[in-house]
Copies of this chain bind each other. A is one copy, B any other.
Amino acid sequence: MTTGTRLAQRSLERVVETFAEGKPYDLFFLSVRGARLVGRKTEAAYPGPDRADRPAERLKCGLVEAHMLLGVAEREQVAEDHVAVFYRPLAEAEKAALFAEAAADPLTDLYHPYAQLGDRIREAAEAEVGGWEVTEERVRELDHAEAVLRDYVPERLAWLGFDGGLAYDAACSTGAFLAAVGHRFPAARTVGQDLSAEMVAYARPRLDEAHCADSIRPAIPEGGADLVICRHLNAFVVGTRQAHELFAAAASRCRPGGYLVLLGHTPILISSQWCEMSGLRMVQRSAATPSGHALFQCYILRG
């Protein structure tokens, strides 16, 4: 910490999110140089300065920016109805420097330690899954929120040495993400699966195969994939327990030495530590946009 000794002398501040009104899941931590930085996610420039051809927009998504950092976390208290994190505040220039350092290291752990807590049970979200109406507007919205991820992942996989084979998306949704992988790797065979028949019908023309089934029962055999994509182990999609069951199902499909990618535009509910405990090798935990204006969670693992 460049700010070392001076930090302890700064007045403490705290950020509080109640379960009822607030959003504990918007609190994020970033491990940089042994310190735990705490921040709160708000709307980010999207897709950001790298895509000048696109209209400027601010979007609450997977992106976190330097100004969202609050300070160096000193203590958290999870009370009966709220989360409080105490921190020593950082100046804007310090945030920028630490953020740049975090962006330079793909193993930087960027994480959201708090799920949807309290009465905000996610039954509603689960019930919704089977019955999404696939409208052009909804497709545009879903695909738009993942544009930054779609821009990033195929190139990154190429850089890491992936060069085709069977690419399996356990919850392919509109198919746009997997299609982007297929576009970058013409030799890959793209196999999508989704719980929604409407989504599968929409995705089918974009993929080599599309299956309608719950991803707890993967459509491909064990160890059958060179690349497994998980865009569904995230807050607002599933709960933490279900995410871990689905993760095990998906991971079982990755061949030894294959790639497993976890990402999404809401917080990943699986920790990189859990991935490591599952016997996978963590190649990457986070990624930066090309300009470095934002970071996002992007787990890349090897089977």
Which residues of A does B touch, CB under 8 Å? 11-14, 24, 34, 74-84, 86, 109, 111, 113-117, 121-122, 239-241, 269, 271-274, 276-277
Query: Which of B75, B80, B122, B277 is A273 in contact with, Cβ under 8 Å?
Result: B75
Assuming the contacts A239-B80, A240-B77, asked whether A273 and B115 have C-beta atoms less than 8 A apart, the reply is no
Contact call B276/A78, Cβ cutoff below 8 A = no
Copies of this chain assembled into the complex: 2
CA distance A6 to B82 in the complex (A): 37
Q: Is the CB of B34 within 8 A of A273?
A: no
Say yes or no: A12-B86 contact (C-beta < 8 A), given A76-B113, A113-B77, A115-B80.
Answer: no
Give the shortest distance, in Å, between A225 (CB) and chain B (any CB). Answer: 25
**Max chain B CB contacts within 10 Å: which of A77, A81, A86, A239?**
A77
Question: Which of the residues B79, B122, B269, B276 comes within 8 Å of A115, measured between beta carbons?
Answer: B79
24 contacts between A and B (CB under 8 A): A11-B277, A14-B273, A34-B34, A74-B273, A75-B111, A75-B113, A75-B272, A75-B273, A76-B113, A77-B240, A77-B271, A78-B83, A78-B115, A78-B117, A79-B115, A79-B239, A79-B240, A79-B269, A80-B116, A80-B121, A80-B239, A80-B241, A81-B240, A84-B271
Q: A-B pairs with the 8 shortest C-beta distances?
A: A79-B240, A86-B273, A79-B115, A78-B114, A75-B273, A12-B277, A80-B115, A12-B273
Q: Which residues of B contact A113 (CB under 8 A)?
A: 75-78
Which of A34, A74, A122 gathers most chain B CB within 10 Å? A74
Contacts of A86 in B (CB 8 A): 271, 273-274, 277
Q: Are B80 and A277 in contact (CB under 8 A)?
A: no
The residues of B that contact A81 with a CB separation of less than 8 Å are 240-241
| Chain B residue, CB-CB nearest to A11 | B277
Known A12-B276, A86-B273; judge A109-B78 contact (CB<8 A): no
In the complex, residue of chain B having the shortest beta-carbon distance to the beta carbon of A79: B240
